[in-house]
Amino acid sequence: MDSDGPLPPPEGSKERSPFSAHDARFSAGVSGLPSVRRPREADNAAARFATGAPARLGVANPPSRFILYIIRRDAAVDLNAGLSAALGVSAMRLLGSRSSIRATVLTASARGVIACAVVGGLVARPAEGPDFAMADVHPSAANQQYHMPSALGRGGRYEVTGASLVDLVGTAYGVERYQVLGGPVWLASDRFDVIAKAPPTTPQDSLGPMMQSLLAERFKLVAHRDSREIACFRLQTNKDGLNLRHADGSDEGRCRRLPQAGAVSGDEPAYLTLSCRGVTMRAFASTLREYGEGYVDAPVIVDATGLQGLWDFDVRWSMPGQPSGEGGRTTLFDALSRQLGLRLERGTVTMPVVVVDNVNRAPTPNLPGVADIMQAPAEFEVASVKPSVLARPQGRGLQNGKADLLGRTLEDLITRLWGIRFPEMLVGAPNWLDSDRFDIVAEASSGPSSGPEPSSESLQLMLRSLLVERFKIAIHTEDRPMDVYALVRTGALKLDRADESSRSSCKWPMIIPGLIPRTFICQNTTMATLAGDLPQMATAYIDRPVVDATGLAGGWDFTLNFDFKVSQHRAANDQEQADQIPSAAVPTGGMTVFEALEKELGLKLERQKHPMPVFVIDHIDRTPTEN
């Protein structure tokens, strides 16, 4: 082989030009070939790749024509710098030690010289437009917490958890959930995690186009923009006159929810008070939609008052489903009319929408190794972990790129960071895990070159990595029998068979501290989905996983009403906050979630043993390594 030139084309190749436009994808797994000298084109390509030019990972298909250059071991640092700049991950992590680096593929196309690093079955290829460099897309784990950021995180990292296709499409096209129409019935119920990496210099306004490209590639999404009539409420003025006053200042303010005086009891209706200062009617309409759960069943409230400027006012109404009580009960509609001189009327409004024409239920598989790479979080720049003298948790938690966790037990940290919902799902814990306390203070890198602050999910991954390193934690998962609630039939069903063409969804009420009735309106919902959601619907009642044992197939329509009680343990992050929350019992005449399931739906929760995934601690040190 000539060491001064490129390798010859593959046998049978009909391509004559070494710079084919089809050279954007390459076969992988080349190794053990003799080294050759890199020509100037290779150095230029590596330099271009190191600048963070848009690139993405694609399937490694055999090309019709390519040029292959072998990188010597002494050039590994250049490859590492190029990959680190473009993808935000270390090439040493991708490729292993320098001695294992065999080759990189370099090619040229009509758009210029591009460098692509072959890593097992992975290959970076140039993007047609704004695109993520790498993405891990997979179904969410059961009971995964929902997180849908509206901006790229630090270094171009973007993390979504527990999001439906409705959420993802809405972010991609810049519309609200109710503006996403069409598509299959599962569009709002199936949940996915997306961990993606864009080049560090990617502007924030590229997030939408990049998400559109990702959904088209991984879910084969086809959608188009349109305008449709949407059901709404129209906020209007009464003929009897207004009871508002113009704001004193010229600065736009907001509406704040005021706490209810005294503890909420079964004899005292729960109410909601909004204190608005310096708000426009348009902003108030948006606030009403947020706080009007139980009264407002349309997705949007439109300001049709014609009132200009900023306004000051207070308004108070009873939470839906409340008993009359001594002071009577005031609905939202009554409160607006009597207290402010405003009214809500049903109507429609023409709005821009995104119509889903086609989408696959399962995303295309991740390429080998992508999930491991993307799950590997960045590290804190500085961190201190030491035993604590505090008797209760303190600190500001995870925020602003920092971890400030004082007096925390490892049991609390592990259950939160590993997503362990119930204590029984953590097995093999030493007896000191829930008693020894530690102070953890850490900070991510900061400064203009560091990019935006890490998201809360990034900080959790960084903290989890820190604990693994400092306490030498080893955990694996396996199925074991454990106590669960089985959702079973009790006799005559009180459910309605759903229209198979309707979109699966459950409308959850707003959570207000105190004791209030909660109403869940579900359509085309499977019993498996209901079982999975019940621990979140009734957190204070259900202390173990729920499994579907009804034997009912398909989707169902139903409404579930029960009295919600605050759980001190789960409603507060620490004992200090918990001490401020009065304990609440179900009021006389109120209905627990157990009673509501049986009386309203013809279902029942029975205690059973069932194989469930648990987290087993294989090893953990009691003393962290030194700072």
Per-residue pLDDT reduced to its tens digit, 553-580: 989 999 988 876 643 333 333 333 333 3
Tokens of 16: 């004559």
Structural domain contains residue 258: yes
Q: What is the mean pLDDT of residues 358-363?
A: 96
Domain match, 523 and 456 both = no
Q: How do residues 238-274 score in pLDDT, each as one tens digit?
A: 988 888 999 887 777 889 988 776 545 545 567 889 9
Q: What is the mean pLDDT of residues 149-155?
A: 79
3-state secondary structure of 237: strand
Domain match, 417 and 490 both = no
Note the pTM of the prediction, 2 decimals: 0.66
Q: Do β-strands 426-427 and 122-126 pair in parallel, antiparallel, or remain unpaired?
A: unpaired
439-448, 452-461, 563-572: range with highest mean pLDDT? 439-448
Q: How confident is the model at residue 31 (pLDDT cuts 50, 70, 90)?
A: very low
Q: Can you give the pLDDT at residue 157?
A: 83
Taking the C-alpha atoms of residue 317 and residue 258, their distance in angstroms, rounded to an integer, is 12
The residue type of 55 is A
Tokens of 291: 């706080």
Q: Can you give the pLDDT at residue 380?
A: 87
Q: Can you give the pLDDT at residue 444?
A: 84
Q: Do β-strands 382-387 and 437-443 pair in parallel, antiparallel, or remain unpaired?
A: antiparallel
> Is the predicted pLDDT of residue 390 greater than 90, yes or no?
yes
Residue that finishes a domain, picked among 451, 471, 491:
471
Q: How do residues 107-117 score in pLDDT, each as one tens digit?
A: 322 223 333 33
In percent, how much of the chain has pLDDT > 90? 42
> Is the predicted pLDDT of residue 285 greater than 50, yes or no?
yes
Residues 349, 229: contact at Cβ < 8 Å? yes
3-state secondary structure of 370: helix
Domain match, 460 and 523 both = no
Q: For residues 515 and 145, which has the higher predicted lDDT (pLDDT)? A: 145
Q: For residues 143 and 506, which has the higher predicted lDDT (pLDDT)? A: 506
Structural domain contains residue 625: no
Which residues are paired to 271 by β-bridges? 318
Q: How confident is the model at residue 323 (pLDDT cuts 50, 70, 90)?
A: low
The domain in which residue 387 lies consists of: 377-471
Q: Can you give the pLDDT at residue 343?
A: 94
Q: What is the mean pLDDT of residues 218-230?
A: 95
Q: How confident is the model at residue 330 (pLDDT cuts 50, 70, 90)?
A: confident
Q: What is the mean pLDDT of residues 229-242?
A: 92
Domain match, 344 and 246 both = yes
Residues 355, 181: contact at Cβ < 8 Å? yes
Structural domain contains residue 76: yes
Cα four-point dihedral sign 198, 202, 203, 209: negative
Domain match, 187 and 309 both = no
Q: Can you give the pLDDT at residue 162?
A: 87
In percent, how much of the chain has pLDDT > 70? 68
Residues 593, 542: contact at Cβ < 8 Å? yes
Domain match, 166 and 70 both = no
Domain match, 92 and 211 both = no
Structural domain contains residue 362: no
Domain match, 142 and 124 both = no
Q: How far is CA 227 from CA 181, 182, 224, 251, 459, in A?
A: 10, 13, 10, 34, 40
Q: Can you give the pLDDT at residue 446?
A: 64
Domain match, 123 and 160 both = no
Q: Which residue has 């070159």 as its token pair?
A: 449
Q: For residues 335 and 189, which has the higher predicted lDDT (pLDDT)? A: 335
> Is the predicted pLDDT of residue 385 greater than 90, yes or no?
yes
Q: How confident is the model at residue 327 (pLDDT cuts 50, 70, 90)?
A: low
Q: Can you give the pLDDT at residue 269?
A: 63
> Is the predicted pLDDT of residue 283 greater than 90, yes or no?
yes
Helix axes 165-173, 207-218, angle to 10 degrees: 140
Q: Can you give the pLDDT at residue 77?
A: 35
Average pLDDT, the chain: 75
Taking the C-alpha atoms of residue 214 and residue 133, their distance in angstroms, rounded to an integer, is 10
Structural domain contains residue 18: yes
Residues 219, 359: contact at Cβ < 8 Å? yes
Residue that finishes a domain, picked among 450, 471, 492:
471
Structural domain contains residue 53: yes
Structural domain contains residue 365: no
Tell me which H or E stretch contains 215.
Answer: helix 207-218
Q: Can you give the pLDDT at residue 530?
A: 93
Q: What is the mean pLDDT of residues 279-296?
A: 89
Domain match, 384 and 465 both = yes
Domain match, 398 and 511 both = no
Q: Can you give the pLDDT at residue 500?
A: 80
Q: How do residues 33-89 score in pLDDT, each as one tens digit?
A: 333 333 343 334 333 333 333 333 333 333 332 333 323 333 333 444 444 444 444
Helix axes 410-417, 456-471, angle to 10 degrees: 130
Domain match, 321 and 433 both = no
Number of domains making up the chain: 5
> Is the predicted pLDDT of residue 6 greater than 50, yes or no?
no
Structural domain contains residue 371: no
Cα four-point dihedral sign 126, 129, 134, 137: negative
Q: Can you give the pLDDT at residue 469?
A: 94
